[in-house]
Amino acid sequence: MTKGNIASGKTTCLEYFSKTSDIEVLTEPVSKWRNVQGCNPLGLMYQDPSRWGLTLQTYVQLTMLDRHVLPMSTPVRMMERSIYSAKYIFAENLYKSGKMPEVDFAVLSEWFEWIIKNIAIPVDLIVYLQTSPQTCYERLKQRCREEEKVIPLEYLESIHNLYEDWLIHHKSFEVPAPVLVIPADHDLKKMLHQYEENREKILMAHC
Ligand SMILES: Nc1ncnc2c1ncn2[C@@H]1O[C@H](COP(=O)(O)OP(=O)(O)O)[C@@H](O)[C@H]1O
Ligand SMILES: O=c1ccn([C@H]2C[C@H](O)[C@@H](COP(=O)(O)O)O2)c(=O)[nH]1
């Protein structure tokens, strides 16, 4: 699983590895989060998180689970984020910042606990693209996704801190697999070089 803050470079990383044969790449289903039967839960959440946070996170949880249980068609699968980051990072952030009501968080949490107890979600390795929030803020502005124009730097700082507490400091939730940290503030050329350096570790993680 590839993890990291918003606009840290996850999709770019996965696109790079998708050129290798025998690797299946599953990017986040963001297009679904922007359009479910003509509605845009991602946009609604950014406009009014207290009202729409549960709606988005329920749908993220469903679409992530759908990806996790897809039968493997190649020896290696790389997946962008997971059901774990949806809960431990994004739902947690909404709740902790007072933007998700307690009852919404309780319902979402029970759903999540039921899923991880009853459905196998095997993970071999977590590739964490570690960036500064400032880098993500610049890349976010450059990408210019309409719904994300309202995101302030402070939001990226909160998401960053939750990732660090979880994957680096082991202060919050159980980590479901070993973590490979790749410093990701660098330019694209250096990033591609680092991906090559880590290729074996990533591709052999399932052995
Ligand atoms: N190493 C890099 N240096 C500069 N810009 C980058 C780098 N990696 C990705 N980008 C750009 O930053 C934006 C966000 O990258 P993306 O891969 O979509 O991030 P994520 O999938 O983590 O949200 C895109 O416009 C992408 O082209
Ligand atoms: O559980 C989640 C997962 C993602 N999001 C948001 C964050 C971003 O605005 C988009 C997609 O993330 P990228 O890092 O650009 O891939 O979806 C969320 O709110 N909740």
Residue-wise pLDDT tens digits, 103-153: 999 999 999 999 999 999 999 999 999 999 999 999 999 999 999 999 999
- What CATH number is attached to the domain comprising 146? 3.40.50.300
Contact 159, 5 (CB under 8 A): yes
What span, in angstroms and rounded, lies between the C-alpha atoms of 168 and 157? 15
Contact 124, 76 (CB under 8 A): no
* DSSP bridge pairs for 115: none
Q: What percent of the chain has pLDDT over 70?
A: 100
| Per-position DSSP letters for 31-42, written without gaps between them | HHHH-BTTB-HH
* pLDDT band at residue 73 using 50, 70 and 90 as cut-offs: confident
11-57 per-position pLDDT tens digit: 999 999 999 888 999 999 999 999 999 999 999 999 999 999 999 99
The active-site residue, picked from 24, 28, 80, 102, is: 80
To the query of whether residue 80 is one of the catalytic residues in this protein, the response is yes
What's the domain count of the chain? 1
Residue 169 pLDDT greater than 80, yes or no: yes
Contact 63, 29 (CB under 8 A): yes
Query: For residue 180, what are the domain limits?
Result: 2-204
Distance in Å, CA 184 to ligand 1 centroid: 10
Which pLDDT belongs to residue 164?
Answer: 98
* DSSP bridge pairs for 2: 80, 127
Contact 156, 140 (CB under 8 A): yes
Which of 145-154, 165-174, 198-207 is the least confident region?
Answer: 198-207
C-alpha distance from residue 191 to each of 20, 28, 142, 167, 199 (Å)? 17, 20, 18, 20, 12
Nearest CA to ligand 2 atom 7: 6
Output the average pLDDT for the chain: 96
Nearest CA to ligand 2 atom 18: 90
